[in-house]
Homo-oligomer: A and B are copies of this chain.
Amino acid sequence: MTGILTGMRVVEGSAFVAVPLAGMTLAQMGADVIRFDRIGGGLDAGRWPLAPNGSSLFWNGMNKGKRSVAVDMKSPRGKELVTQIITAPGEDAGMFLTNLRVRGWMDHETLSQFRKDLIMVTLMGDRHGRPAVDYTVNPSLGFPAITGPQGSSDPVAHALPAWDCIAGNLVVASLLAAERHRLRTGQGHDVELSLKDVAAAMLGHLGILADAELGGTRREKSGNSLYGAYGQDFVCADGQRVMVIGLTDRQWIGLVKATGTGAQIEALASETGQNLRDEGVRWKLRARITAILAPWFAARRVSDFEDLFDQSGVTWSVFRDFEGAMQHDPDLSEANPMFERVQQPGLGKILTPRSPVSFKGQDPKRAEPAPALGLHTEEVLCDVVRMSDTEIAQLFDQGIVQSPAYAVKRPAA
């Protein structure tokens, strides 16, 4: 039993990115996280990418270290079981995360009748209860319109489900905030947030709404430039592309010094009468700065300057694809203590991250594989719902619950 959240039990009824990520983040910090799914698997059971054997690498990634229960939720007995799992006693239990938003039997009003101090965190699509996913929220709020090459008019959506990941971590924070309050007051909580509101709020936090409202600096596509200061990508003599940053004064001076372009930059300052120590000036003059730096990079291979850049503290990186990153970046290997090779049944030993958060002095919780669907059905019915072996066997016989072991033991007639 390791991890900062050891002892905490959280139940999750979910699919896709945000809420599964939230549960997994808690599991990687040591919580006992029980995910329930319908028999055969939930909406994300076959989400891509898939392994050569057809199993979902996405599902495996998002459910590492959880306990999995498979239940027929259409049956009244199945609904009752899910209710029992969610509302089971325990001081450190009675916490439920979901994005399924099932009214009638799995809402806070109903569930809290069985456990008054239940904390339930529900992530919705939008605040109206309408469906919304990262792929619709993102275009509706404007980021694709400022993504991609300068001058182009086609919107470019991000490939990372960023709003889902942001919302998932906020679900974790919301649960812990509610649990903190419950510990002091005994009070349960019905917590709601929506993916679209999380994104809309972020537009405010980043100053984008105020900018649009005040008409200060209408933002357009600017390729891979760092917005509002200096940062640019360059192609080098070996064909590799690098990103270099001059966001802070120190980064900017370091970049100019490392590339030996001080005289040209000073000439640019004289010619324009502008002070390039001002980050906004660097942004406005970025095309001129890039014209000065581009020949320097074009004449050099990455191996010609990487040591110099690292030693002089330049903030920079090489563009890679996923395969290239895994091959060349030690941070994506077992050289990084965050990663272990973990045996994932059917797939072999896979490079698997544990939590990126290190609580020094606590034993880190090791990386764990994802469960097979329903792997812990029997165990959870026994140790959480406290059912007898006979009752559990009946549920399996009636097909109300399932597990891989049971499927093997008693194949369908």
Contacts and interface: CB of A to CB of B under 8 A. Distances in A.
A48 B169 CA distance: 26
Given A24-B205, A154-B149, A358-B192, A322 B212 contact: yes
Contact of A170 (B131, B160, B356): B356
A contact patch SS: mixed
A147 interface: yes
Interface string A369-390: 0000000000000000000000
A173 interface: yes
Given A48-B229, A139-B243, A351 B213 contact: yes
A72 interface: no
Contact of A4 (B48, B108, B178, B278): B178
Given A46-B280, A197-B336, 7 more contacts: A4-B178, A51-B211, A130-B313, A136-B315, A139-B320, A147-B159, A209-B332
Contacts of A395: none
Contacts of A169: 166, 169-170, 172-173
A140 B170 contact: no
B217 A49 contact: yes
Contacts of A192: 357-358, 360
A331 B197 contact: yes
A406 interface: no
A61 B137 contact: no
Contacts of A141: 320, 322, 325, 329, 332
Given A139-B319, A197-B331, A200-B353, A127 B336 contact: yes
A97 interface: no
Interface string A36-57: 0000000100111111100011
Contacts of A243: 135-136, 139, 157
Nearest to A194: B356
A230 to B, nearest CB: 11
Nearest to A31: B177
A209 B326 contact: yes
A196 interface: yes
Interface in A284-333: 310, 313-326, 329, 331-332
A338 B127 contact: yes
A186 B359 CA distance: 15
Given A48-B227, A140-B318, A326-B213, A338 B280 contact: no
A332 B216 contact: no
A263 interface: no
Interface in A132-159: 132-133, 135-137, 139-149, 154-159
B156 A147 contact: yes
- Of listed A145, A162, A174, A355, residue having the most chain B CB within 10 A: A174
Interface stretch (A77-85, A245-253, A267-275): A245-253
A176 B177 CA distance: 7
A331 B200 contact: yes
Nearest to A176: B176
Contacts of A321: 142, 145-146
B48 A210 contact: no
B212 A326 contact: yes
Contact of A332 (B176, B200, B228, B316): B200
Given A142-B324, A155-B224, A211-B57, A216 B50 contact: yes
- Of listed A25, A137, A146, residue having the most chain B CB within 10 A: A25
